[in-house]
Structure 1
C-alpha cells in the first residue's frame, strides 16, 4: 500500500539519493529506472518516487503533492520554501562560492558590482550583508563564461572541485556556505503521516551514520 510520495532532484542527486535509499532497505527496480518513467514505486510499493528538476522539489513538497523530497541545500536557500528539513543526507557535497577572474581587485573598487549567478536571492543576500551594491545578472547555465566575456565582474555558483572554474581562469575568493542533499518534508505530512514519515527518517539516518562510520578517519 502506497504510504509516501518522495520527490527527488534529477541528475547526480538522483543517483546518490537512490543509492542511499537502497542502503536504507528501500529498493527501486533497475528496469523501472531504465524505462525513463518519471514516477516509480519501490519494491515494497510503500514509496512512490517522482523525479523532477531540482528547483521543483521544494515546490512539490511545500504544496503537498509530494510528502517528502531530496534536494540540495542550495536550492532550499534560494527558494525559501516553507518545508521541514529533518535530515542532512550528506550526499552531493558542494560549496556555494564567489569567483572572479581578477581576485587581486577588491570588490569595493568596482562601484556597482556585476554578479552573474543562478542564485539571485543567495547572491543578493550575501552582498547585501557585506554592504556591497550589486547588479544581479541571472543566468540559467554556463555562469563561468560571464566574467570571461565581460558580462559580469564575478559569479556566485555551486562548486564541487573547482576544476571548471580554474579551466576558465576564475579563482574562488569567498565561500558563502556548504550545500549537501537534504531530506525535506511537507509540514502537514510530518504530522498527519507521522507513522510513515518517522520510520523513513530513522532508516535514512541510520544509513547516513553507517556511511560516516565507514569513512577513513582524517586523524
Structure 2
C-alpha cells in the first residue's frame, strides 16, 4: 500500500529531507521543490507534502497523512488522537521560561503575566508549580513583550539563546526538551502496519547511526 507523509515546513524541513535521503528514499523533488507542495518519491511508493506544523497534526489526525514529522513543541501544544512513534533526534531546541533579570517570576509577589505563543504549554508548566498566572497569547516576537511591560516573563522556544541575550532576557528554567518526532494515524497503523513499520525502522536505523557519529 502507498503511504502519505506530511512534512513540516521551515525549521525541521532541511533535517527531515536529509534524513530521508540518508535512508535511501527518492526525495530529489523535495530538494529542488520550487513552489510545489506535493512530491512523489522516485524509489518508494510514498507521497510527501509540506505543511505548517499545526496542520501536520491535523492531516495525520484526519487520515490524509499516514505519518507526519513535526516538532515536539507542536505536539505538546496540540495533544490529539495519534501515536507518537519515534524521536528523530534532530531539530533540537527547548521550551524555556525567561524574564528580565529584575523579574524573578518564582519569587514575585502578586499578579504575574506570561507572554507566549504556546498557551497550553505555559499553563501546564505553571500549574505544576502551583502558580496562578495570566497567560497572554502573542503571535509575533515574544521577547519584546517583557521589555515593553506587557508581561513579567515569557515561555518560548530557545535554540541558541542569542535573541534572548541581545534583548537582555535571562533563562529561569527549562520547561521541556524539543526535537522532531514521527506521529502516525491510528487507523493507518492498523491498515498499513507493515509499510509504516518499514519507514519507522529505516528512520530509526539512520537516527542510531547519526547518534553514534556525534558521540
Instruction: Give TM-score, length-normalised by structure 2.
Output: 0.95
Cα offset, 1:177, TM superposition:
0.9
SS at match of 2:81: coil
SS at match of 1:202: helix
What aligned pairs does 1:81-100 form with structure 2 within 5 A after superposition? Answer: 81-100=80-99
In 2, are the aligned partners of 1:103 and 1:173 still within 8 Å (CA)?
Answer: no
Where does the alignment leave 5 or more consecutive residues of structure 2 unmatched?
none
Where does the alignment leave 5 or more consecutive residues of structure 1 unmatched?
none
Aligned match of 1:105: 104
Cα offset, 1:111, TM superposition:
1.7
CA-to-partner distance for each residue in 1:35-84, whole Å, 9 max, x for gaps? 22111111125111111111111111011110000000110010012211
Residue 109 of structure 2 corresponds to residue 114 of structure 1:
no
Count of aligned pairs between the two proteins = 215
Superposition CA RMSD, Å: 1.5
**Distance (whole Å) between structure 1 residues aligned to residue 30 and residue 213 of structure 2:** 30
**Distance (whole Å) between structure 2 residues aligned to residue 89 and residue 64 of structure 1:** 22
Aligned match of 1:140: 139
**Distance (whole Å) between structure 2 residues aligned to residue 105 and residue 11 of structure 1:** 33
**Distance (whole Å) between structure 2 residues aligned to residue 166 and residue 48 of structure 1:** 42
What aligned pairs does 1:100-179 form with structure 2 within 5 A after superposition? Answer: 100-102=99-101, 105-179=104-178
SS at match of 1:12: coil
Structure 1 residues 106 and 135, CA gap change in structure 2 (3 angstroms) = closer
In 2, are the aligned partners of 1:108 and 1:132 still within 8 Å (CA)?
Answer: no
Aligned match of 2:22: 23
**Distance (whole Å) between structure 2 residues aligned to residue 143 and residue 31 of structure 1:** 32
Residue 50 of structure 2 corresponds to residue 51 of structure 1:
yes
In 2, are the aligned partners of 1:8 and 1:70 still within 8 Å (CA)?
Answer: yes
**Distance (whole Å) between structure 2 residues aligned to residue 15 and residue 182 of structure 1:** 14
In 2, are the aligned partners of 1:28 and 1:42 still within 8 Å (CA)?
Answer: yes
In 2, are the aligned partners of 1:32 and 1:40 still within 8 Å (CA)?
Answer: no
**Distance (whole Å) between structure 2 residues aligned to residue 85 and residue 19 of structure 1:** 21
Instruction: Give TM-score, length-normalised by structure 1.
Output: 0.93
